[in-house]
Structure 1
Amino acid sequence: MAPGGRRTRAERSDSGGEVMEGTRSGGEAEGGPTAGAVTVGVDGSPASGHALDWAAEEARLRGARLHVVHALALPLLAAAPFAGPRTLPPTERMAEHAAEVVDGALRRAAAVAPGVVTESSVSPQSASAALLELAEHSALVVVGSRGLGAFASMLVGSVSIRMAAHSPCPVVVVPPPPEGEPPRERRGRVVAGVHGGEHDADLLRFAYAESRRRGAELVLLHAWRLPVAVDPMMLAVPSIDMDPEVLTARVREYVEEGMEPFRAEFADVPTEIRVEQAEASRALVEAAEQADLLVVGSRARGNLRGLVLGSVSQFALRHAPCPVAVLRRHGDGPPPGPQRLGGAGARPAG
């Protein structure tokens, strides 16, 4: 029996890595060790500590389990012919350090969110590989914006970006507070960047649910702008109205159309729609100044769709002062916006 009444268990990575040791407080879960859990990557750094605090509180709000994972990023060792590569076993010092990191994280989580069922694992894989594997069965994955050791590459733009672009479940990237400053005070607001129409369904459901859990208002923000150069031929087409007020009104209608299926289910969540003629990335980051959570989609463009994030999502991850939740958008159609509402020259940002 592990210290504190936690049972020790063992798992094996699907990638053929060495055995991962783990602990659990509470009963077994159906569907695998992380089924429906909030999963968080830790490395003992202050940044991962902030992510852990957020994840523990999120697990409490959801009534979910918290899965703490530490990645060793062990090098691969070439095996015999016709056999797959295997990872080198961890040294005794590496194993001791991993146990210290995980035990410290579990104690911290228990202090932040008493009563939350916790479990842990140590993966031989890289941080992104370990988290992506666990994301298959997690309700949510939480990472810090930078870290140490195997998570040292978790500077926004590398592992965090990869997680946000590839994770099958929502990913939340938690930035640390500015150096020397205390954690941000609660704002009581969730901001979601929306396109409008059916493209927002998953994002809206997530944003509404997060707002309800926090007793917060929800702000649905759509920012758009006209291209710098407008073809004079477009202005000669009677059906295209380039009046910004007209386009803004049409975009608002489209956003309202997208949120209509959720009005009754989330009638208790105060909702505000904002339509701004501005660059989406900057509009979202500015709105995030007064938010507890920013929710954006990860729709990629062109032949790299699904491999990289859109520019708006990347900008938000780099500059938003609050945690940013990224959801992969589904569907390959063009993003809704003024150009689909009678303003073919308008260009939505996002």
Structure 2
Amino acid sequence: MSGSGSVSATELLQRAQAIHDSIRTWRRTIHRYPELSFTEQRTAALVNSVLIDLGLPTETEVAKTGVVAHIRGGDGPTVALRADMDALPIQEINGSEFDSTRPGIMHACGHDAHTAMLLGAATLLKQLADEGKLPGVVRLLFQPSEEAQDEEGKSGGMRMVEEGALQGVDAVFGLHVDPFHDVGYVATRPGPMMAAADMFEIVVIGSGGHAARPQNTIDPIALSAHVINAVHQIVSRRLDPTQPGVITIGTIQGGTANNVIPDRVTMTGTIRSFTPEVRTLLQDELMRAAGVVESLGGRAEVTIFPGYPPTVNDPAATAHMTDAMRELLGEDRVAESELIMGAEDFSYMAQAAPGCFLRLGVHNPCVARILPGAPRGFSSG
């Protein structure tokens, strides 16, 4: 950050503090009016308005509801900064003065903060460009739909890459707020950081009948118990114990009455992995585990729905990020992130250009932490 023609970390912090009220206002406005994936028209309009007021030309309706803008400085590299804009289908009960005004929709994952922070970064970077202190080009990516996919199975990150938003980018950076780190601390790591997330459906098919005459049936509920046991042994017995991976069955549905054995049972779940090899192994072993019902007279239909790939940080981009964070925050406030089983569609951008994803601490140390064992990670994970 420091050097000839640039500004120091101290000055950057002072400039950021000077626009604190604007950033807070943007965040609270977005929080009051949350929008679900690919419906972020109001949020995109706010973003577009702020960028135009800064004197930046914008491109709208990128990946349906996204916004892209450029801040042009010198002849140096082109660096992209990404923020996601969508909210979640959750009812807010916080009772703050800026609670969601939309029943059943809430910014529960911090994307309102991400968007406001990128608007703040745009403000500071435009100042530097106007002063001749921006050595390259910054591309601002306000992305829709990180939390969900459209009818074609595509998220906002995937669509932005497909539509060329990462073309010509030398590096891309993103972040996510993290309540497991205190304010003023950040964490990242080179290489795999967040997992791939695939979904699956297993339909166990038997032959139904009256519960009082089970001998005349092939009970898919009993068969499903064998499948569940087999699935839960994949990671412990088929996966190299030095390699991380998770298979979780999240739903099981079967039957309509207490005295009727159904024809079928449907289970759904998720597969998490960090490498292509483990991803393939877990999917193959899931198919084999479901096949245990065949020797018992039933059959299983397995469908795997590929999800986000793992988020893999480029070592050089990560080193650049950590060096900047140490200069800005101090050596002891930059930690190495643990591996996170949650997933992020920033992964598509990090495949299109060297990338780094950062965890930004937002926990207030004066407030009790979430109980031990609470879910860790972010987003659609």
Q: TM over 0.5, yes or no?
A: no
TM bracket, shorter-chain basis: under 0.3
TM-score (norm: length of structure 2): 0.26
* Structure showing the higher strand proportion among its residues: 2
